[in-house]
């Protein structure tokens, strides 16, 4: 649907957009918007509101009313504004749903730029896993996750799914930063930095799930690294706990060409078939990467309701010689979101950059410039990601009743002028550095490009303190590998 058509449709249905809320006379701007609390009221007014509802509504000069951490109403340009509500002026800005990063390893930002330009299994087995065994501790995870949370918030990501160690420290970092995150126990089939075995990882996993069950921004979830590192019975136990708590479940799936053969040797089944056999292909299961899928795999995923996290930049950088079959997955009705993977294999966490890559990669691999149009890719980064995490009733679009996870993108620069189509700009021209403001759960966490919840300079200084130790350990690991 075109920009003009969606604006006309939105104005015609303006009464519906009020969601039954009666709004009175116009309000005046107030600097109080800077300090709007999580449970306060705020009117984001005067921007181009990209709703990401099923109709593809775009409101030029529209407004979003936030109340109690949720979106209370959408207003078109002509609608009356409520009185006595602080106003955040969005003139010249795109107002979009917060982006959803469906796969990553946040603390690995402290390993950014190490062990580059290597094949996946060499990178993992000879560099990353050995280095993590010596380096990763609660302090490493807290500061690394906080560093990544800052990077993501400043580039428009308001929700991310994490798969790493020391889940309590990772959770604490995201809460301190004010970002929404899916975090929880991570099962892997060899001694990890936090637990010596899958059994130990799972021993108090239920306690973690209970503790954060009703948290406003921390969504407890389960993860199993992969079938090539973790016995199927342990993957089953993690998946079953996720089912018990109706929580997201993450697992690396079909990322490498050798993975299917390894899974068959270990389980007698291919990767996706094995996951189906333990009931893991359910809504809320995140199949990270999903590159080497067969037609039968796609049918199984579609039948079960699992979603796929597409990580194009990480896969390209690791030399994976094919792209995930995203066009086929979407045609099969499978939820597909975007992920950055960790900063050690990407090496940034900018989902705008990821969108641009995804759109162009699939046009190239399909030899079809119409493959994955811009609106479809932006939907993957918002509602698609929310569906992958089974959180689409809470986030992913700017619809009344959903949580107020909102990003403002400043278009007043040469590279974003003039504006003809919002989706074209968002996917092909915008960058994370264009983000001016971000709200999570109705609270402003980035304002004028500055994070408000934590001291960014302190976090970067703490990150620097890890550098010498990381260099020493990685150099020794590389020497031992030779």
Stronger pLDDT, 131 or 91, i.e. the higher one: 91
Considering the domain boundaries, does residue 362 fall inside one?
yes
Same domain, yes or no, for 326 and 269?
Answer: yes
Q: Is residue 33 part of a domain?
A: yes
- In this predicted structure, the answer to whether residue 447 has a pLDDT above a threshold of 70 is yes
Domain presence at residue 165 = yes
What spatial distance separates the first Cα and last Cα of the chain, rounded to whole Å?
56
Residue 64 has pLDDT above 90, yes or no: yes
Q: pLDDT tens across 117-154, in order? A: 878 888 778 878 888 888 899 999 999 999 999 999 99
Of residues 206 and 38, the one with the higher pLDDT is: 206
Residues 370 and 409 in one domain: no
CATH number, position 10? 2.30.40.10
Residue 51, domain member (yes or no):
yes
Q: Residue 274: which region, alpha, beta or left (left: phi > 0; alpha: psi -120 to 50)? A: alpha
Whether 302 and 434 map to the same domain: the answer is no
> Mean pLDDT over residues 272-291, rounded?
98
pLDDT of residue 9: 34
Distances (CA, A) of 118 to 110, 121, 221, 344, 389: 18, 8, 31, 12, 30
Q: Give the residue, 434 or 31, on which the prediction is more confident.
A: 434
SS (H, E, C) the chain: CCHHHHHHHHHHCHHHHCCCCCCCCCCCCCHHHHHCCCCCEEEEEEEEEECCCCCCCEEEEEEEEEECCEEEEEECCCCCCCCCCCEEECCCEEEEECEEEEEECHHHHHHCCCCCCCCHHHHHHHHHHHHHHHHCCHHHHHHHHHHHHHHHHHCCEEEEEECCCCHHHHHHHHHHHCCEEEECCEECCCCCCCCCCHHHHHHCHHHHHHHCCCCCCEEECEEECCCCCCCHHHHHHHHHHHHHCCCCEEEEECCCCCHHHHHHHHHCCCHHHHHHHCCCCCCCEEEEECCCCCHHHHHHHHHHCCEEEECHHHHHHCCCCCCCCHHHHHHCCCCEEECCCCCCCCCCCCHHHHHHHHHHHHHHHCCCCCCCCHHHHHHHHHHHHHHHCCCCCCCCCCCCCCECCEEEEECCCHHHCCCCCHHHHHHHHCCHHHEEEEEECCEEEEECCEECCCCHHHHHHHHHCCHHHHHHHHHHHHHHHC
- Residue 343 domain-assigned? yes
| Residue 409 sits in the same domain as residue 319 | no
Percent of the chain at pLDDT exceeding 90: 82
> Pick from 360, 388, 416: which residue ends a domain?
388
467 found inside a domain: no
- How confident is residue 297, by pLDDT bands cut at 50, 70 and 90? very high
Query: The whole model's pTM is what?
Result: 0.91
* Same-domain pairing of 372 and 402: no
What pLDDT was estimated at residue 291? 98
The CATH number assigned to the domain holding 344 equals: 3.20.20.140
Question: Percentage of the chain surpassing pLDDT 70?
Answer: 91
122 and 88 in a single domain? The answer is no
**Candidate ranges 9-18, 126-135, 347-356; pick with highest mean pLDDT:** 347-356
Last-in-domain residue among 388, 408, 427: 388
Q: Is residue 447 part of a domain?
A: yes
Total domain count, the chain:
2
Q: Is the pLDDT at 27 greater than 50, yes or no?
A: no
357 part of a folded domain: yes
pLDDT at 241: 97
Give the tens place of pLDDT for each residue, 222-270: 999 999 999 999 999 999 999 999 999 999 999 999 999 999 999 999 9
pLDDT at 8 over 60: no
Indicate whether 85 and 112 sit together in one domain: no
| pLDDT attached to residue 38 | 55
pLDDT of 472 reads: 84
- Domain match, 410 and 324 both: no
Q: What is the mean pLDDT of residues 386-396?
A: 98
Range of the structural domain that residue 164 is part of: 99-388
- 157 and 263 part of one domain: yes
107 and 92 assigned to the same domain: no
- Among 345, 360, 388, the domain-final residue is 388
- Could you tell me if 59 and 174 lie in one domain? no
Among 477, 473, 479, which residue's Cα sits nearest to residue 140? 473
Is the pLDDT higher at 473 or at 89? 89
Looking at the predicted structure, is the pLDDT value of residue 4 above 60? no
**Average pLDDT, integer, range 310-323:** 94
pLDDT in tens, 31-41: 333 444 555 89
Q: Which of 71, 76, 73 is nearest to 97 (CA)?
A: 71
Give every CB contact of residue 189 below 8 A, 6+ residues apart in sequence.
198, 225, 229, 230, 231, 234
Do residues 273 and 164 share a domain? yes
Q: Is the pLDDT of residue 16 over 70?
A: no
């Amino acid at each position: 649907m075109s920009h003009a058509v969606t604006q006309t449709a939105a104005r015609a249905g303006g009464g519906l957009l009020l969601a039954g809320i009666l709004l009175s006379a116009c309000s005046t701007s107030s600097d109080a918007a800077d300090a709007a609390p999580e449970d306060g009221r705020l009117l984001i007014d005067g921007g181009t509101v990209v709703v990401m509802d099923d109709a593809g509504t775009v409101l030029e000069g529209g407004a979003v009313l936030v109340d109690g951490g949720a979106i209370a109403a959408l207003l078109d340009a002509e609608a009356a504004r409520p009185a006595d509500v602080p106003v955040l002026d969005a003139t010249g800005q795109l107002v979009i749903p917060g982006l959803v990063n469906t796969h990553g390893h946040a603390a690995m930002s402290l390993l950014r730029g190490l062990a580059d330009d290597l094949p996946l299994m060499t990178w993992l087995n000879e560099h990353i896993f050995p280095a993590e065994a010596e380096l990763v501790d609660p302090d490493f995870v807290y500061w690394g996750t906080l560093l990544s949370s800052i990077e993501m918030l400043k580039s428009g990501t308001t929700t991310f799914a994490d798969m790493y160690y020391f889940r309590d420290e990772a959770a604490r970092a995201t809460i301190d930063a004010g970002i929404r995150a899916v975090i929880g126990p991570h099962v892997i089939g060899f001694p990890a930095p936090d637990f010596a075995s899958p059994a130990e990882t799972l021993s108090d996993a239920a306690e973690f799930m209970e503790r954060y069950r009703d948290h406003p921004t921390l969504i407890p979830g389960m993860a199993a690294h992969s079938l090539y590192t973790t016995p199927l019975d342990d993957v089953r136990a993690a998946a079953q706990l996720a089912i018990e708590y109706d929580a997201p479940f993450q697992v690396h799936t079909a990322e490498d060409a050798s993975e299917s053969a390894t899974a068959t040797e270990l389980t007698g089944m291919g990767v996706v078939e094995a996951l189906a056999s333990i009931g893991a292909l359910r809504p809320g299961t995140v199949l990270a990467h999903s590159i080497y899928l067969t037609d039968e795999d796609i049918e199984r995923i579609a039948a079960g309701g699992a979603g796929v996290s597409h990580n194009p930049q990480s896969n390209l950088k690791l030399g994976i010689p094919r792209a995930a079959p995203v066009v086929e997955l979407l045609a099969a009705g499978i939820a597909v979101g975007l992920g950055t993977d960790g900063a050690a294999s990407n090496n940034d966490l900018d989902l705008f950059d990821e969108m641009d890559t995804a759109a162009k990669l699939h046009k190239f691999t399909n030899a079809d410039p119409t493959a994955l149009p811009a609106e479809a890719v932006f939907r993957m980064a918002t509602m698609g990601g929310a569906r992958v995490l089974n959180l689409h009733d809470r986030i992913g679009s700017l619809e009344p009743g959903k949580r107020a996870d909102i990003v403002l993108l400043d278009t007043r620069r040469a590279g974003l002028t003039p504006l003809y189509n919002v989706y074209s700009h968002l996917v092909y021209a915008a960058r994370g550095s264009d983000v001016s403001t971000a709200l999570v759960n109705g609270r402003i966490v980035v304002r004028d490009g500055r994070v408000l919840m934590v001291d960014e300079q302190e976090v970067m200084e703490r990150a620097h303190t890890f550098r010498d130790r990381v260099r020493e350990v990685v150099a020794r690991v590389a020497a031992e590998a030779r």
